[in-house]
Amino acid sequence: MTTVPEPATRPRRRTVRRFVPPQHGAWAMLLVPYLVGVLAAGFRWPQVPLLVAWLAGYLLSYYVLQAIKTRRPARFRAPLLLYAPATAVPAAVVVLARPPVLAYAPIFALLLAVNAGYAWRRDERALVNDLVSVVQSCLMVFVAATIAGVAPGDVALPFVAVLLYFTGTVFYVKTMIRERGNATFYRVSVGYHLVAAAVLAWVAPPLGLLFALLAARAWALPPRGLRPLQVGLVEIAACVLLAVTVLTV
């Protein structure tokens, strides 16, 4: 009998999964607030090491939380040893270049402590935990602005826009995947987007129009049973529209 060899791609996939979290949606939540902050406040060179520290810090935090959840830190030693210095070195460069960013450290520490608590309880998919992660990501708008020497108040509208958007995706994506068919989540998702659209229409009409479109997608798409890939593609388009709209108001 001929033995069919295991495809060479499988060991490679296991290696990738050992160092890259299977959280595809997280990358938009990491990159969009950063890019909005940089584009709204203006580019300064320390924002480059900030991006490196931000992405590496996410990877580090993911495996720290996995170690807490599983109570098996040795299992994640390799990614922890890789991402700890990858985070610390560019973060040190940012702090040396722009010391005021240290003011955000206590806030991030508190939010990460909440994440750690949910990881310890093995309930990291809880709604509150998701919302805490959204706040963490959106704070990057203020961090990028601080590095550019721009007051947080000057980027308040971009911050609110990305915060409202990603908070909405928490409800919307749940109606598309994990809470599909849950009438309560569906009503909350649609209602949330309608309220956000109404508020933003008064503050910034283009954003109000965008959120009206997001409300339409929150109403129309959950009953259609889209695949996760299709859901992701819709959100990529929404992120692009969000960034463009925020920068035009």
Euclidean distance between CA atoms 84 and 49, whole angstroms: 15
Cβ-proximal residues to 93 (8 Å cutoff; 6+ apart), any chain: 46, 49
- What is the dihedral sign for C-alpha 209, 214, 218, 222? positive
Contact criterion met (CB below 8 Å) for 2 and 206: no
- What is the dihedral sign for C-alpha 224, 246, 156, 132? positive
Instruction: List the pLDDT tens digit at each of the 249 positions of the chain.
Output: 444 555 555 655 666 767 888 777 788 999 999 999 999 999 999 999 999 999 999 999 999 999 999 999 999 999 999 999 999 999 999 999 999 999 999 999 999 999 999 999 999 889 999 999 999 999 999 999 999 999 999 999 999 999 999 999 999 998 988 888 889 999 999 999 999 999 999 999 999 999 999 999 999 999 888 888 888 889 999 999 999 999 888
pTM for the whole structure? 0.90
How many Cα atoms within 13 Å fall on the side-chain side of residue 141?
A: 24
How far, in Å, are 51, 102, 129, 144, 155 from residue 149 at the CA level? 17, 14, 31, 9, 11
Task: Output the pLDDT for position 11.
Answer: 59
